[in-house]
């Protein structure tokens, strides 16, 4: 079982290390080509680099930090370490990094404890997200305890070095991505929550969406996250530089404590240890379950992850459901109208604060208009018959937004967000019947290469195009050759060279990482690293029984199930829930209740099922110990388990499956 949060998925990739055996000898990254040097130099001329306001904002209120923001872990590598990013201290951007991304990477490298205003503090640069700490009358209110328990604990310790050591009395999750809840056990214990010493507050639907979002596609998302976050790349001017949203993902322990209270109304006011909060639910914006908050006593507006200093994702390239840009824009405007005139400081759970009512209003309006522009203009063009690819090539941000640092595409991009709008409304099919049922990728590639005169002819032409700086085309052409023949070493190398140059030119940290990981794997093969799972006892508890059986259905190997039927009753002793699991027509379905005459009836607690899932025990062992009781045909449970597929975490991406 795999927790679903997209960031949870990515943690698996971060935890992995390269094995010694590779498909090919390791090939080092190459220098920039002339076309890349020119592209980056031209980019540097188009944006207002002399404007240093963001750097002033990012350092405002700085109190202190620890050297390199170093956070040790139980393993050989630290949970967090900014030392490898010292290359960003150079006065000029590296020639292998887009200068705009370099600027964002420098801002995201600033770390420490910062005073936002009286009684409101943030720890930034100790994980991909921020931890916000509000001082109540007698206790601390921690908003979003980062991704890992290790970094969250270190962030709280840094705060205690400079502020009175009040106990944590409240933890607030703004939304259900793991970088905003995974470190909770670094700031609070489950026993203190159970005893009522600490309350945990989250938006309505948090537990369901924190675990359910993309669980059914979790293995694929995990692998794709390695590309989005560059977690297999070493930090450096020719490697991982920044995610755009923050420096990187922490390596550490993801934990989860269920909320003791949820915000259920669209707008809800609460007083927490003497601090007034106004919560605004924004479901379906950046996350399925998310909320903003306003602190009237301190005139602070926390926009969670709906307003940051980047264009965010309407579609995230690791894979997730498309987000609604129109709805996102409306939520921002609602917050602006409700709180803007009463706000002196705007903060978010990524990046740095913005101060002053006029600047805050300007930021809110431009972020609002950015998402509305992408949504509406993509719809306008698709209604004129443009395809998703056409729209991505055609659409340009208005000059008033294009020159704004906060609307630059460091994490999301205009190109893939425009395609997201097309996908949301029209799906994958562009209405051209030639694209309704094309050949599958390998067959398509073989015919394409054949039509182009064979691999040698394609390579000869592509080398000429590479010299011209036509890297997008070369990458595409070489992908066809590699899919037609994965052993074609020359095609792999030239394809890698083209992807690498595209990475060096990319303004988006996500695109840079994807290009460079693709180049690395074309040169060196898929890394031979051990498969991992971000499942643990904390996250599994949040998986409903219903979702557990949904996931069993996804794992069913239809070929192995061909012609087989069975009915198994399940009784959960701790929740008194009952389910009927039916295998028929190579489909595994379930429904609440019990069916008389079932092949078998399994009685157990959910904790026992979790232990089996985590491979801490097995069904036979649990039967022997009395934790599982099976009535009827015991062999049926084993037969069912034998038909369940296991997923290879390191499947190929830039070459076909074998």
Which residues constitute the domain of residue 624? Answer: 542-642
Burial 249-278 (b: 16+ CB within 10 A, else e): bbbbbbbbbebeebbeeeebeeebbebebb
Which whole-number Å values give the CA distances from 37 to 3, 133, 175, in the listed order? 42, 43, 40
Read off the DSSP letter of residue 118: T
Confidence class for position 611, pLDDT limits 50, 70, 90: very high
- Kindly state the tokens that stand for 391: 């729209």
- Kindly state the tokens that stand for 481: 């050759």
Q: Please identify, among 460, 484, 505, the residue that sits at the C-terminal boundary of a domain.
A: 505
Instruction: Say which CATH number the domain at 627 has.
Output: 3.30.1050.10
Same domain, residue pair 164 and 212: yes
Using H for helix, E for strand and C for coil, what is the string for 75-99?
A: CCCCCECCHHHHHHHCCCCCCCCCH
In a domain, residue 636? The reply is yes
CB 313 within 8 A of CB 324: no
Note the pLDDT tens digit of each residue in 224-264. 999 999 999 999 999 999 999 999 999 999 999 999 999 99
In a domain, residue 34? The reply is no
The beta strand positions in 233-347, using DSSP E, are 261-263, 267-272, 275-281, 291-295, 300-302, 345-347
Which of 18-22, 160-164, 229-233, 381-385 has the weakest average pLDDT?
A: 18-22
Give CA–CA dist 427/268, Å, rounded. Answer: 36
Mean pLDDT, range 437-458, rounded to an integer = 97
The pLDDT, as a whole number, for residue 214 is 67
How many helices and strands, by DSSP H and E, does the chain display?
Answer: 24, 19
Same domain, residue pair 216 and 68: yes
Task: Classify strands 112-117 and 62-64 as parallel, antiparallel or unpaired.
Answer: antiparallel
Mean pLDDT, range 18-33, rounded to an integer = 66
Confidence class for position 369, pLDDT limits 50, 70, 90: very high
Intra-chain end-to-end CA distance of the chain, in Å: 25
Give CA–CA dist 568/643, Å, rounded. Answer: 14
Same domain, residue pair 500 and 550: no
Confidence class for position 106, pLDDT limits 50, 70, 90: very high
Give CA–CA dist 41/370, Å, rounded. Answer: 26
CB 353 within 8 A of CB 385: no
Confidence class for position 614, pLDDT limits 50, 70, 90: confident
Using the predicted structure, report yes or no on whether residue 15 has a pLDDT greater than 70.
no
Note the pLDDT tens digit of each residue in 462-489. 999 999 999 999 999 999 999 999 999 9
Same domain, residue pair 217 and 86: yes
- Kindly state the tokens that stand for 386: 């443009």
Same domain, residue pair 287 and 238: yes
Cα dihedral 376→377→382→385 (10° resolution): 140
Read off the DSSP letter of residue 86: G
Note the pLDDT tens digit of each residue in 268-286. 999 999 999 999 999 999 9
Same domain, residue pair 90 and 148: yes
Q: For the chain, give the percent of residues with pLDDT over 70.
A: 95
Same domain, residue pair 360 and 490: no
Task: Return the SS3 of 264.
Answer: coil
Instruction: Say which CATH number the domain at 481 has.
Output: 1.25.40.880
Note the pLDDT tens digit of each residue in 512-551. 999 999 999 999 999 988 755 556 777 788 889 999 999 9
Same domain, residue pair 490 and 633: no
- Kindly state the tokens that stand for 1: 């079982």
Same domain, residue pair 278 and 342: yes
Note the pLDDT tens digit of each residue in 152-175. 999 999 999 999 999 999 999 999
Note the pLDDT tens digit of each residue in 57-98. 999 999 999 999 999 998 899 999 999 999 999 999 999 999
The CA-CA-CA angle for residues 562, 568, 574, to 5°, reads 140
Instruction: Say which CATH number the domain at 259 has.
Output: 3.60.15.30
- Average of per-residue pLDDT values in the chain: 94
Residues 6+ apart with CB under 8 A from 39: 469, 505
Note the pLDDT tens digit of each residue in 426-436. 999 999 999 99
In a domain, residue 314? The reply is yes
The pLDDT, as a whole number, for residue 613 is 87
Confidence class for position 208, pLDDT limits 50, 70, 90: confident
Same domain, residue pair 199 and 285: yes
Residues 6+ apart with CB under 8 A from 26: 523, 524
CB 299 within 8 A of CB 354: no
The pLDDT, as a whole number, for residue 542 is 80
- Could you tell me the sign of the dihedral formed by the alpha carbons of 328, 333, 334, 336, in that order? positive
């Amino acid at each position: 079982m795999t927790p679903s949060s997209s960031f949870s998925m990515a943690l698996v990739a971060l935890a992995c290390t390269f094995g010694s055996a590779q498909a090919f000898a390791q090939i080092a990254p190459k220098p920039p080509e002339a076309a890349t040097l020119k592209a980056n130099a031209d980019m540097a001329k188009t944006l207002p680099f002399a404007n240093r306001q963001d750097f002033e904002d990012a350092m405002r209120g700085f109190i202190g930090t620890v050297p390199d923001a170093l956070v040790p872990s139980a393993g050989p590598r630290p949970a967090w370490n900014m030392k490898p990013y010292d290359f960003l201290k150079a006065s000029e951007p590296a020639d292998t990094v887009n200068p705009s991304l370099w600027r964002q990477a420098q801002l995201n490298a600033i770390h420490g404890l910062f005073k936002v205003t009286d009684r409101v503090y943030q720890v930034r640069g100790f994980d991909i997200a921020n931890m916000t700490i509000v001082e109540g009358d007698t206790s601390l209110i921690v908003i979003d305890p980062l991704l890992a328990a290790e970094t969250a604990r270190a962030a709280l310790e840094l705060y205690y070095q400079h502020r009175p050591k009040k106990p944590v009395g409240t933890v607030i999750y703004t939304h259900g991505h793991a970088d905003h809840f995974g470190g909770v056990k670094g700031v609070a214990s489950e026993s203190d929550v159970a005893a009522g010493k600490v309350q945990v507050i989250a938006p309505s639907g948090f537990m369901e969406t924190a675990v359910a979002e993309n669980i059914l596609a979790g293995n694929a998302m995990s692998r794709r996250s390695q590309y989005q976050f560059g977690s297999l790349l070493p930090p450096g001017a020719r490697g991982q530089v920044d995610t755009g949203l923050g420096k990187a993902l922490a390596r550490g322990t993801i934990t989860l404590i269920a909320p003791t209270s949820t915000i259920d109304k669209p707008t809800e006011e609460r007083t927490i240890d003497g601090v007034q909060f106004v919560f605004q639910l924004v479901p379906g914006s950046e996350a399925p379950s998310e909320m903003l908050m306003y602190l009237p006593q301190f005139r602070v507006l926390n926009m969670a992850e709906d307003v940051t200093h980047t264009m965010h994702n309407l579609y995230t390239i690791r894979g997730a459901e498309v987000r609604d840009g129109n709805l996102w824009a409306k939520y921002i405007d609602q917050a602006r109208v409700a709180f803007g005139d009463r706000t002196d400081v705007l903060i978010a759970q990524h990046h740095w604060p913005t101060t002053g009512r006029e600047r805050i209003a300007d930021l809110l309006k431009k972020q609002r208009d950015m998402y509305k522009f992408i949504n509406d203009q993509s719809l306008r063009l698709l209604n004129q018959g443009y395809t998703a690819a056409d729209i991505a090539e055609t659409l340009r941000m208005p000059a008033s937004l294009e020159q704004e640092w906060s609307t630059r595409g460091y994490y999301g991009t205009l190109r893939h967000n425009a395609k997201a709008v097309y996908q949301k409304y029209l799906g994958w099919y562009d209405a051209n019947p030639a694209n309704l049922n094309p050949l599958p990728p390998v067959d398509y590639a073989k015919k394409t290469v054949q039509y182009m005169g064979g691999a040698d002819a394609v390579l000869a032409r592509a080398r000429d195009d590479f010299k011209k700086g036509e890297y997008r085309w070369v990458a595409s052409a070489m992908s066809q050759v590699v899919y037609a023949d994965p052993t074609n070493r020359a095609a792999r190398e030239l394809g890698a060279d083209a992807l690498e140059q595209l990475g060096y030119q990319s303004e988006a940290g996500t695109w840079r990482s994807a290009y460079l990981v693709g180049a690395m794997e074309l040169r060196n093969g898929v890394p031979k690293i051990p498969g991992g799972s971000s499942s643990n006892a904390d996250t599994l508890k949040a998986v409903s029984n219903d979702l557990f059986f949904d996931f069993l259905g996804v794992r069913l190997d239809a070929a192995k199930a061909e012609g087989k039927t069975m009915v198994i009753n399940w009784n959960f002793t701790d929740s008194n829930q009952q389910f009927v699991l039916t295998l028929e027509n190579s489909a595994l379905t379930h429904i609440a209740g019990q069916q008389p005459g079932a092949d078998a009836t399994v009685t157990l607690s959910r904790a026992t099922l979790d232990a089996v899932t985590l491979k801490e025990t097995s069904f036979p062992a649990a039967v022997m110990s009395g934790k599982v009781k099976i009535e009827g045909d015991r062999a049926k449970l084993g037969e069912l388990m034998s038909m369940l597929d296991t997923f290879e975490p390191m499947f190929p991406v830039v070459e076909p499956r074998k």
